[in-house]
Amino acid sequence: MASEIIEKLKWRYACKKFNPSKKLTEGQIQILKDAFNLTATSYGLQPLKMLVISNPEIKEQLVPLSMDQPQVKDASHVLVLCRENGISPDYIKSHFNRVEDIRNTPREILDPFQEYLLDSFAGKEAEEVSLWMSKQAYLALGNLLTVCALEGIDACPMEGFEPAKYDTLLGLKEMGLTSVLVLPVGYRADDDLFSELKKVRRGVAEVVIEMN
């Protein structure tokens, strides 16, 4: 099993050319939605949302906002990982209400932690909170890339886009969101030369330090 996973991670690559006529099924998209929702986040606050775009006109309009990278047009779906525009006290309280509902955790246990988070977030600058939220989006990206690999779904993680322009086009501000990362998903084109290239990595011996 372990080596199967490594083989799948070697199979995946940042797809440069998608086959525009091969579409993912609803079932495959559902797996990616579930994986996104199951991503671990700091304190479990999940300050993220994910847009799933399949509309061809919208995908076409994303190309000039994505450094002319054609993946956003040709992929079956474009996932846009977004962060919330802020963490309000109500947002934190609704998280703890959810824990109470789902786990029946007594308020005596939840309240001190809730107070701690309310205090902690009240003392932070908006920029610090935004950076913290963006880090959570990167975790979701990593999770999705692995799940895509395991499911045989091709993907291209992308920072090469203009978030402010995405936000305007997609009406994200009105939803209280800011785009952080883009992930076109679908199937590689048969002639994507990048799929044949060897992986370039520093190597386990160089990136792993063992302390025995």
Ligand X SMILES: Cc1cc2nc3c(=O)[nH]c(=O)nc-3n(C[C@H](O)[C@H](O)[C@H](O)COP(=O)(O)O)c2cc1C
Name the residue nearer to ligand X (CB basis): 92 or 156. 156
Closest CA to 81 of 10, 141, 126, 21: 141
Which of 35, 75, 158, 189: binder of ligand X (CB under 6 A)? 158
Closest CA to 71 of 176, 151, 188: 188
- 159 contributes a contact to ligand X by CB under 6 A: yes
Q: Which residues contact 58 (CB under 8 A, 6 or more apart)?
A: 169, 170
Among 47, 157, 163, 184, binds ligand X (CB under 6 A): 157
Find the residue with minimal CB distance to ligand X.
160
Phi, psi of 106 (to 5 degrees): -65, 145
Q: Is 160 in the site for ligand X (CB under 6 A)?
A: yes
The dihedrals phi and psi of 43, each to the nearest 5 degrees, come to 60, 0
To ligand X, the closest distance from the beta carbon of 137 in angstroms equals 10
DSSP letter for each residue of 77-91: EEEEEEEES---HHH
The nearer residue to ligand X, 65 or 177, going by C-beta atoms, is: 65
Query: For ligand X, which is the closer residue by CB, 9 or 129?
Result: 9
Tokens of 147: 């799940």
With CB under 6 A as the contact rule, the residue among 28, 39, 69, 179 that binds ligand X is 69
Closer residue to ligand X (CB): 89 or 160:
160
Which helix (DSSP H) or strand (DSSP E) does residue 185 occupy? Answer: strand 177-186
**Residues 81, 168: Cα–Cα separation, whole Å:** 15
Give the integer Cα–Cα distance in Å for 134 and 179. 9
Candidates 78, 140, 153, 156: give the one binding ligand X (CB under 6 A): 156
Taking contact as CB under 6 A, which single stretch among the options 129-137, 155-163, 184-192, 202-210 is the one that binds ligand X? 155-163
Options 29-37, 78-86, 101-109, 151-159: segment touching ligand X (CB under 6 A):
151-159
199 binds ligand X per the rule CB under 6 A? yes
Site string for ligand X, 11-30 (x = CB under 6 A): --xx-x--------------
Instruction: Identify which of 9, 15, 7, 13 has the alpha carbon closest to the alpha carbon of residue 189.
Output: 15
Q: Decide whether 96 or 161 has the Cβ nearer to ligand X.
A: 161
Give contact residues for ligand X (rule: CB under 6 A): 13-14, 16, 69, 156-160, 199
